[in-house]
């Protein structure tokens, strides 16, 4: 049975990805920073007959990540797939020039340093042939027009895309595939109720990258299970 750890998966696209991978027979470890919310979500997975557990981890906090890795090490599991999904988009995020620098710092701390720190701590559990999937965004695209929305978030996702490329290069020797994806505009707390896509559709590409995509795909950016330009 393959195992998958998904950060920030007590709700939204992360939770739906956990649900769909659980239905496909993965052993699912959901994760989040709020124990009560994580346990409620775990109970929902169990109710659907999914083999799942939880790990409390705040990806913006290095100590919390280290504690989670120590806890994980006691479970004698390998980690076939790590999905770096947790991210924030701050409502105050309107300008790189006039916003307090803390908006950008907080956003990078969760959306970029979070990914690097989680990957560093959990790499020891990922076997050769494993997969790392980074949930990015079209907002991080360097080839699309800049839309003027949430600039710190967009900077963080462009940075995340380069993190993906760098990690994919570093992990070539271990045959660990590292890819980014854009889920599209999805109806979640982050995407809002006006978004064009259901959460089921939003989870489609991460589920595919975790389970069916060729292992040779690495260092790439995907949407709708197709490679897209950076």
The active-site residue out of 72, 153, 221, 222 is 153
DSSP H helices in 109-150: 114-122
Question: 106-165: which residues touch ligand NDP (CB under 6 A)?
Answer: 110, 135, 137
Instruction: Report d(CA 42, CA 20) in Å as an integer.
Output: 14
Shortest distance, position 107 Cβ to ligand NDP, whole Å: 10
Asked if residue 14 binds ligand NDP (CB under 6 A), the reply is yes
What part of residues 188-207 is at the interface with ligand NDP (CB under 6 A)?
Answer: 188-191, 195
- The two three-digit tokens of residue 83, written as one number: 């999905």
Instruction: Determine phi and psi for 194, rounding to 5 degrees.
Output: -85, 0
Q: Is 27 part of the annotated catalytic residue set?
A: no
Q: What is the distance between the alpha carbons of residues 207 and 193, in angstroms, rounded to a whole number?
A: 23
The single residue among 20, 54, 85, 141 that binds ligand NDP, judged by CB under 6 A, is 85
Stretch that binds ligand NDP, among 93-101, 144-152, 172-180, 183-191 (CB under 6 A): 183-191
Q: Is residue 37 within a helix (H) or strand (E), and if so which, with residue range?
A: helix 35-47
Residues facing 178 on adjacent strands: 132
Which stretch, 85-93, 98-106, 122-130, 221-229, contacts ligand NDP (CB under 6 A)? Answer: 85-93
Q: Which residues are catalytic?
A: 153
């Amino acid at each position: 049975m393959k195992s998958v750890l998904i950060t920030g998966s007590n709700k939204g696209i992360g939770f739906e990805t956990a649900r769909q991978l659980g239905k496909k027979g993965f052993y699912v470890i959901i994760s989040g920073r709020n124990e009560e919310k994580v346990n409620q979500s775990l109970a929902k997975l169990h109710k659907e007959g999914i083999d799942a557990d939880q790990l409390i981890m705040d990806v913006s906090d290095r100590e919390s990540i280290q504690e989670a890795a120590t806890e994980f090490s006691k479970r004698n599991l390998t980690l076939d797939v790590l999905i770096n999904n947790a991210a924030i988009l701050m409502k105050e995020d309107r300008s790189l020039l006039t916003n307090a620098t803390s908006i950008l710092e907080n956003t990078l701390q969760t959306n970029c340093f979070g990914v690097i720190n989680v990957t560093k701590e959990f790499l020891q559990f990922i076997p050769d042939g494993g997969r790392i999937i980074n949930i990015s965004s079209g907002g991080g695209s360097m080839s699309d027009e800049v839309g003027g929305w949430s600039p710190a978030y967009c900077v963080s996702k462009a940075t995340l895309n380069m993190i993906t490329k760098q990690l994919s290069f570093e992990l070539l020797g271990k045959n660990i595939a590292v890819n980014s994806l854009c889920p599209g505009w999805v109806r979640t707390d982050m995407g809002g109720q006006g978004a064009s896509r259901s959460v089921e559709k939003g989870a489609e590409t991460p589920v595919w990258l975790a389970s069916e995509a060729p292992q040779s795909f690495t260092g790439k950016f995907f949407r709708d299970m197709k490679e897209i330009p950076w």
